[in-house]
């Protein structure tokens, strides 16, 4: 299987009209149509394919699709063996192309496109080994794992030897943790109840249903109107009681001082963290907010729009976050997330992944399982986001039991979509968009 040659890479623009019902809405993304650039890689072996996605929210998908097409020339003709035997080299080939890096490097559209392709390569590798991705990672020789990571620009924070030492230390108890995950699953929190565009009635009804299903950790969107935030946080806190956890997410809405004063006004509802209080690039701003909010017992969480390992390195070095939110599509796939998980372990900062969207839960569950079993060895202050939308479009959807992610069993990275779903939601000619566009009169579409 490893000798198979990649013969074709196709990419499709697949969008879901989630904005019609305000699913996924927040202070900055008021009309998110959850979307993916969906990559399929074919090989000369009929039974070996790879599927990968990157997540976007509508119109931007077209641009990511274009970037994937340009990058595909670097992939076609390679064997899987060639790629995985020097995965670090292959990662650099995609991220450091002499002409394409000018529109990055390692950030923005080009980085999202790299993620889609590499997610498909990791999916294919896991399928070739007949394992779910998390198990491929857990079973991999630490030296081989380390050879997948590009350490360029991060050796001042984490050397290869330190990374190996972290993996060696976590070797103790690894089998017990794997067994525990298979039995109990990885703890999750829900964001599904309190999107910004939901009414109080909707919020009340969804929160009460979630409590009934056993959820104990809830995230609320904030940031547009302080009085609204106070009302909504009070409503949720009253419903969930004093013991359950509450998190708030502003999606980059504020300036630094505004963030400090706004969140201080919400402190009475005891949020565990404020997520993305300000620009995702403002490391020193996040450090100032962290320092100001620490006495109130509120941490800062960020990462869903943190574009590479170098940014995470600086956030960690500057004590600018207390919760690392890795994302399976924002950075350069598993390769770069391995670096981020290991840096978080070195700095002793808990990882609480960003998920939701389309397929982000399916993907990131593999990474956080690996983190617990092979890297952090801890569940303290850790949980993985869950959002209950669009799972029905995947061949191996996430399984949630008692508010925990149950480890996937199917080989691969869980992001293969149902062919019928892809066809119906392809933009703009799928049948779903035929209907939606007939009613919309947007000048941009
Ligand atoms: C636009 C997305 O729905 C965003 O609001 C998701 C997010 O911030 C989160 O889940 O966290
Ligand atoms: Mg968020």
Q: Is the CB of 366 under 6 A from ligand 1?
A: no
Distance 170 CA to ligand 1 centre (A): 32
Q: Is the CB of 373 under 6 A from ligand 1?
A: no
CA–CA separation, 277 vs 300, rounded Å?
Answer: 8
- Provide the Cα torsion 251, 256, 260, 265; round to 10°: -60
pLDDT in the model for residue 226: 98
CA–CA separation, 92 vs 90, rounded Å?
Answer: 5
Give the mutation target among 32, 34, 35, 251 for probing the ligand 1 site: most ligand atoms within 8 A of CB. 251
Q: Is the CB of 304 under 6 A from ligand 1?
A: yes
For the CA of 251, the nearest atom of ligand 1:
8
Distance 57 CA to ligand 1 centre (A): 10
For the CA of 356, the nearest atom of ligand 1:
10
* Cα four-point dihedral sign 24, 27, 33, 34: negative
Alpha helices, DSSP H, located in 241-359? 256-265, 283-293, 309-317, 333-346
Q: What is residue 4's DSSP assignment?
A: P
Nearest CA to ligand 1 atom 8: 251
Nearest CA to ligand 1 atom 4: 24
What per-residue string of b and e applies to 107-139 under the rule 16 or more CB within 10 Å gives b?
bebbbbbbbbbbbbbbbbbbbbbebbbbbbbbe
**Is the pTM for the entire model greater than 0.80?**
yes
CA–CA separation, 321 vs 273, rounded Å?
Answer: 10
Q: Is the CB of 247 under 6 A from ligand 1?
A: no
Alpha helices, DSSP H, located in 151-271? 160-169, 174-184, 200-212, 226-240, 256-265
Q: Is the CB of 32 under 6 A from ligand 1?
A: yes
Asked if 29 is an active-site residue, the reply is no
Choosing from 23, 131, 221, 389, the catalytic residue is: 221
Helices (H) and strands (E) in the chain, counts: 17, 12
Choosing from 23, 219, 286, 354, the catalytic residue is: 354
- Looking at all shown ligands, the one closest to residue 191's CA atom is 1
Give the mutation target among 59, 306, 357 for probing the ligand 1 site: most ligand atoms within 8 A of CB. 357
Q: Is the distance from CB of 72 to CB of 11 less than 8 angstroms? A: yes
ipTM of the complex: 0.99
Distance 26 CA to ligand 1 centre (A): 7
Distances (CA, A) of 310 to 144, 330, 385, 395: 22, 13, 23, 34
Distance 360 CA to ligand 1 centre (A): 11
For the CA of 387, the nearest atom of ligand 1:
10
* 342-392 residue pLDDT tens: 999 999 999 999 999 999 999 999 999 999 999 999 999 999 999 999 999
Nearest CA to ligand 1 atom 2: 24
The count of other CB atoms within 10 Å of the CB of residue 165 is: 14
Distances (CA, A) of 37 to 34, 40, 120, 328, 329: 11, 10, 11, 14, 10
Q: Is the CB of 69 under 6 A from ligand 1?
A: no
CA–CA separation, 217 vs 402, rounded Å?
Answer: 12
pLDDT in the model for residue 444: 55
Q: What is the CA radius of gyration of the chain?
A: 21
- Provide the Cα torsion 221, 223, 229, 233; round to 10°: 40
Asked if 348 is an active-site residue, the reply is no
Tell me if residue 195 falls in helix, strand or coil.
Answer: coil
Distances (CA, A) of 218 to 307, 323, 326: 26, 16, 18
Question: Which residues neighbour 430 within 8 Å (Cβ) at sequence distance 6 or greater?
Answer: 14, 423, 424
Low-confidence ranges of the chain (pLDDT < 50): none
For the CA of 325, the nearest atom of ligand 1:
11
Q: How far is CA 20 from the centre of its chain?
A: 23
E strands of 6-92, at which residues? 6-15, 35-43, 49-56
Taking phi over 0 as left and psi of -120 to 50 as alpha, with beta for the rest, 116 belongs to: alpha
Question: Which residues neighbour 183 within 8 Å (Cβ) at sequence distance 6 or greater?
Answer: none
CA–CA separation, 430 vs 393, rounded Å?
Answer: 14
């Amino acid at each position: 299987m490893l000798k198979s040659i990649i013969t074709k890479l196709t990419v499709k623009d697949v969008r879901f009209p989630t904005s019609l019902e305000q699913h996924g809405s927040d202070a900055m993304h008021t009309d998110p149509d959850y979307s993916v650039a969906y990559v399929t890689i074919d090989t000369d072996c009929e039974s070996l394919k790879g599927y990968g996605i990157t997540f976007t929210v509508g119109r931007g998908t077209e641009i990511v699709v274009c970037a994937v097409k340009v990058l595909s020339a670097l992939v076609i003709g390679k064997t899987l063996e060639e790629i995985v035997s020097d995965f670090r080299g292959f990662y650099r080939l995609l991220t450091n192309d002499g002409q394409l890096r000018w529109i990055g490097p390692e950030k923005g559209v080009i980085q999202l496109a790299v993620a889609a392709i590499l997610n498909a390569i990791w999916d294919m590798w896991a399928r070739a080994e007949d394992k779910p991705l998390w198990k491929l990672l857990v079973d991999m020789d630490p030296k081989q794992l380390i050879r997948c990571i590009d350490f360029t620009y991060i050796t001042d924070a984490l050397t290869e030897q330190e990374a190996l030492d972290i993996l060696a230390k976590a070797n103790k108890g690894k089998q017990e943790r794997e067994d525990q995950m298979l039995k109990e699953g990885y703890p999750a929190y829900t964001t599904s109840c309190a999107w910004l565009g939901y009414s109080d009635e909707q919020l009340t009804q969804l929160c009460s249903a979630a409590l009934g299903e056993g959820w104990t950790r809830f995230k609320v969107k904030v940031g547009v109107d302080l009085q609204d935030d106070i009302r909504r946080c009070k409503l949720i806190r009253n419903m969930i009681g004093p013991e359950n956890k509450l998190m708030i997410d502003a999606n980059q809405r504020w300036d630094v001082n505004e963030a400090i004063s706004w969140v201080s006004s919400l402190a009475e509802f005891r949020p565990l963290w404020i997520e993305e209080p300000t620009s995702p690039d403002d490391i020193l701003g996040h450090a100032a907010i962290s320092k100001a909010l620490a006495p109130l017992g509120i941490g800062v969480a960020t990462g869903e729009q943190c574009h590479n390992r170098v940014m995470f390195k600086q956030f960690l070095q500057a004590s600018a976050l207390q919760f690392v939110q890795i994302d399976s599509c924002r950075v350069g796939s598993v390769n770069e997330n391995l670096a981020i998980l290991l840096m978080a372990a070195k700095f002793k900062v808990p990882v609480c992944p960003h998920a939701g969207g389309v397929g982000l839960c399916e993907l990131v569950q593999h990474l956080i399982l690996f983190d617990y079993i092979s890297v952090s060895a801890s569940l303290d202050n850790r949980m993985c986001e869950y959002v209950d939308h669009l799972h029905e479009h995947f061949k191996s959807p996430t399984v949630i039991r008692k508010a925990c992610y149950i480890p996937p069993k199917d080989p691969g990275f869980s992001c293969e979509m149902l062919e019928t779903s892809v066809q119906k939601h392809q933009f703009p000619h799928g049948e779903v968009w035929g209907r939606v566009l007939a009613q919309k009169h947007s000048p941009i579409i």
